[in-house]
């Protein structure tokens, strides 16, 4: 065979091989596109949530299936929420809504997107028609931007914006926004969130807000009785418990010098369990679920009052309780339990500056994990706000801790007169923590 002939044969074979390779690549690409399309087809391009009344009560449907909200307030620790059996989060504003929705969707969570509406206590005037109109238009932009996101569950129109509940202008503004929201987005329910249900709040909701589909209620000490009280108040629509947790600082006993006494983490967990049983799980056809507060950490009176997770790590016992409600079983490893904490042989309302003191906490671990206790003396908060507004964290006094032995501590009262708290943080080495604190007053 001539050199030219050999060249032509190899060229022909090479061309054939090239066409085969092109054909295979094309097939693979088509299969890949098909696979992508099929994968995308398993998720709706836009979620559809509906509130349904069937004669027996109300229920929430998400994409045609019953959906009970097992939720948490905030957007921290989302993987831990999934692991605990939660399915939804709630925000108070929409500044980071895109990122929050995207992350929630990645994890299979839904989001009640909060739309912040201005409060009269912050100086907003609901008699100012131009200001009210600007607020409505600002809300319109948020609704239009996020209405088709597949993680969207509901719109939370305002948080405790009603104040004492007596101003019809506030309720009318809420309903105008709800009506506008439903016109733009008929696929997601409207909800407004109120602080408890006293005064004229329920009557004014019924009179002025026909376009609100769901009532959100923030409640703490009133949680165990909320379901009964809403029935007695004649609520004509379903409700969601949009914040629940321990007793609030306005609901607990106070020291002789006027500072609130915080429950320890085990007392908080027990209280939340009772409330969840009575006013959420125990109200089928009326309650659509709830959002435990705060699925993260915040300073409010103390760093631990509402924090279900500590800033430097650790999940509290209430997370275990919610896991049991949401999944039907306790987690494999549980947080330590606190029996009691006490400061020994000291009159707490007149501790001498520089005095040597002793304290003890009694804690056990359900899994027999070894416990490590971190003690902290911290100044009493002087930056006290209302409505959950931002507060500065008080300073700590590490120099006050003298010696630690087992579940006991020796500490020295600070030299400056004033209010302080002794905190015990009990860790099990497995990512869990129990907390307790006792206030004391230092005098000259």
What pLDDT does 44 receive?
55
Contact 199, 235 (CB under 8 A): no
What pLDDT does 31 receive?
39
Considering the domain architecture, whether residues 300 and 430 belong to the same structural domain is answered as: no
CATH code: domain of residue 115 = 3.20.20.80
- pTM exceeds 0.75 for this model: yes
Alpha-carbon gap, residue 168 to 161, rounded angstroms? 12
For residues 85-114, give the mean pLDDT: 97
Considering the domain architecture, whether residues 252 and 393 belong to the same structural domain is answered as: no
Considering the domain architecture, whether residues 304 and 404 belong to the same structural domain is answered as: no
What pLDDT does 30 receive?
39
pLDDT digits (tens, 9 = 90+) for 18-41: 343 434 334 333 334 333 333 333
Give me the number of domains the chain comprises: 2
**Confidence category of residue 385, pLDDT binned at 50, 70, 90:** confident
Q: Residue 181 belongs to what domain range?
A: 49-327
Residue 108 lies in a domain: yes
For residues 255-278, give the mean pLDDT: 97
For residues 103-122, give the mean pLDDT: 97
- Angle, CA of 37, 42 and 45, to the nearest 5°: 80
Considering the domain architecture, whether residues 288 and 147 belong to the same structural domain is answered as: yes
CATH code: domain of residue 374 = 2.60.40.1930
H or E stretch at 111: strand 110-115
Q: Could you give the C-alpha distances from 359 to 39, 305, 307, 377, in angstroms and in order?
A: 59, 20, 24, 12
pLDDT digits (tens, 9 = 90+) for 342-377: 999 899 999 999 999 999 999 999 999 999 999 999
pLDDT digits (tens, 9 = 90+) for 292-315: 999 999 999 999 999 999 999 899
pLDDT digits (tens, 9 = 90+) for 176-189: 999 999 999 999 99
For residues 264-283, give the mean pLDDT: 97
Considering the domain architecture, whether residues 109 and 244 belong to the same structural domain is answered as: yes
- Angle, CA of 428, 434 and 437, to the nearest 5°: 140
Alpha-carbon gap, residue 119 to 434, rounded angstroms? 36
Q: Among positive and negative, which fits the CA dihedral 296, 90, 393, 352?
A: negative
* DSSP type of residue 392: P
For residues 412-440, give the mean pLDDT: 98
Q: Between these two residues, 20 and 63, which has the higher pLDDT value?
A: 63
């Amino acid at each position: 065979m001539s050199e030219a002939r050999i060249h032509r044969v190899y060229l022909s074979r090479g061309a054939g091989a090239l066409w085969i390779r092109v054909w295979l690549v094309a097939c693979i690409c088509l299969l890949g596109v098909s696979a992508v399309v099929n994968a995308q087809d398993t998720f709706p391009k836009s979620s559809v949530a509906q509130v349904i009344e069937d004669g027996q009560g109300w229920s929430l449907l998400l994409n045609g299936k019953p959906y009970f909200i097992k939720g948490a307030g905030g957007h921290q620790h989302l993987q831990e929420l999934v692991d605990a059996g939660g399915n939804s989060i709630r925000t108070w504003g929409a500044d980071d809504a895109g990122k929050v929705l995207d992350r929630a969707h990645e994890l299979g969570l839904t989001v009640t997107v909060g739309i912040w509406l201005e409060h009269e206590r912050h100086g907003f005037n609901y008699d100012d028609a131009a200001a009210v109109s600007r607020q409505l238009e600002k809300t319109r932009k948020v609704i239009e931007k996020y209405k088709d996101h597949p993680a969207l569950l509901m719109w939370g129109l305002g948080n405790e914006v009603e104040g004492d509940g007596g101003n019809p202008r506030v309720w009318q503004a809420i309903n105008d926004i709800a009506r506008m929201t439903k016109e733009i987005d008929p696929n997601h329910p409207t909800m407004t969130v109120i602080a408890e249900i006293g005064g004229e709040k329920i009557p004014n909701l019924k009179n002025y807000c026909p376009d609100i589909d769901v009532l959100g209620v923030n409640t703490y000490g009133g949680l165990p009785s909320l379901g009964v009280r809403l029935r007695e108040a004649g609520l004509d629509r379903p409700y969601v418990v949009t914040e629940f947790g321990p007793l609030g600082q306005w609901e607990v006993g106070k020291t002789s010098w006027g500072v609130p006494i915080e429950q320890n983490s085990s007392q908080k967990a027990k209280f939340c369990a009772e409330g969840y049983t009575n006013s959420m799980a125990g109200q089928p056809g009326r309650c659509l679920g709830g959002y435990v507060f705060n699925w993260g950490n915040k300073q409010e009176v103390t760093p631990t009052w509402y924090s279900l997770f500590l800033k430097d790590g650790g999940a509290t016992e209430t997370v275990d309780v919610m896991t049991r409600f949401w999944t039907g079983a306790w987690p494999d490893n549980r947080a330590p339990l606190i029996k009691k904490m006490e400061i020994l042989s000291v009159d707490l309302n007149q501790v001498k500056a520089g005095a040597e003191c002793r304290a003890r906490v009694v804690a056990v671990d359900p899994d027999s994990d070894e416990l490590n206790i971190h003690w902290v003396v911290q100044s009493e908060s002087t930056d006290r706000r209302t409505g959950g507004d931002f507060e500065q964290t008080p300073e700590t006094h590490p120099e006050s801790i003298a010696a630690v032995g087992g579940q006991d501590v020796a500490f020295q009262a600070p030299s400056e007169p004033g209010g302080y708290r002794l905190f015990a943080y009990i860790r099990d080495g497995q990512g869990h923590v129990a907390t307790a604190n006792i206030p004391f007053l230092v005098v000259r």
